[in-house]
Structures are given as C-alpha cells and as structure tokens.
Amino acid sequence: MTWMPRRAVVCAALGIALTCAVTATPARAQFFPFFGASPGNNYGSSYYGSGPIPREVVSFPSRYAPGTIVVNTTEYRLYLVTGNGQAIRYGVGVGREGFGWHGVHRIVAKREWPDWTPPKQMLRRRPDLPHHMEGGEANPLGARALYIGGTLYRIHGSNEPESIGHAVSSGCIRMVNEDVVDLYSRVPVGATVIVR
C-alpha cells in the first residue's frame, strides 16, 4: 500500500464525494426537500413527495386564477395554480384506455380517510369488489378525496404509489397519499378543476 499524507487522502475523498454529488443530480425544476417555508415562497409544506414523481414548484404561465386545478392527462401531472406564473406540480395516475375524460368542473366535497362505495358501473365490471369499504389505510381512496361535481370521479389518494405516472384508473385522478394531503389542505370546496 502506498503511503499518502492524511491531508491528501481527505482532499481526494472530498473531491470524489463532491464530483458524485454534482454529477448524480439531474437538472430539474425547483423543488424543496425540507419541511417549512422555502426561500422565495410562502407555500409552507414539503415539496418532495414520497411517491415516484416529486412534488415541485414550477413555472406555469396561464390565465387561470390561483387555486385552479389543471390536470394534464397526457403528462400524468396535476397543477395547482398559485399565481405569479407558477404552480405546484404533482404526479398523478389517470384513467386507463376507455376511461379517460376531460372537462371543466368544481370540487363539491372533501373527505378525510373517505369510505368507498364503488359505483354500479364498476360493480358490473368487477363483481368481486366490496359494495362498501370503510375509510382507512387499505381503502383504495387513500388518505383524502376531493369530489368532482357532475362526474363519478374524485381526486384521491392511493395505497398503490407505483400506479402514479400511469393510465390505470377507472377515471379518477390518483395521487400518493402525502401529495393528496398537501393538495387537500390548499384547495377549498368550489375550486375549479380542468381536466384535459
């Protein structure tokens, strides 16, 4: 083994660690991995979700009022417009082939740990499903649900985080539980939902 002065060893190790840290992080939109207010905003909670698609504050120039929810089904993303040309972007799962939809609606109700009663159409397709399921960690609606008026659909949590970023649902918009809790805290009943 070749002898090196301690200072040289420490400098070499720091150089390798710094190189790895710089090259391992891909360029991405601004995100905040810590709880609490982030520099330059007043949004409060963490911007790093536990799911496969991190929650991020992104540039979002639009004519939509702050508080509007915009779901882009081809991107598998939900945008909550915050104003000043920005939005909070979340990863979502959307309706699979034959179950996709679009339109402009409003949030008509919100529920924490909601019960689930599959609609009759779903029970006809899947008679093996329970006719009613109490809210809780095993419930497919997850930690929160925002009910979209004029539809059978909800924006809701999921106990299947691997489904985020895919077309998998019967029309509902799925989010990881951490993200739907964050969205739920920001969106009032009456908020506009645009699905495109």
* Cβ neighbours for 1, distance < 8 A, ≥ 6 positions apart: none
Question: Taking the chain (196 residues) in consecutive chunks of 10 residues, what is each chunk's mean pLDDT?
Answer: 42 36 32 29 44 93 97 98 97 95 97 94 91 94 97 94 95 97 98 98
pTM of the model: 0.74
* Displacement of CA 134 from its chain's centroid (Å): 23
* Cβ neighbours for 143, distance < 8 A, ≥ 6 positions apart: 112, 113, 157, 177, 180, 181
Give catalytic residue positions: 156, 172
In the numeric block, which tokens belong to residue 30?
A: 């601004």
Question: Helix H segments across the chain?
Answer: 6-24, 120-125, 177-186
Structural domains of the chain ordered from first start: 56-195 (2.40.440.10)
Q: What share of the chain in percent tops pLDDT 90? A: 70
Q: Which of 191, 192, 181 lies closest to 44, judged by CA?
A: 181
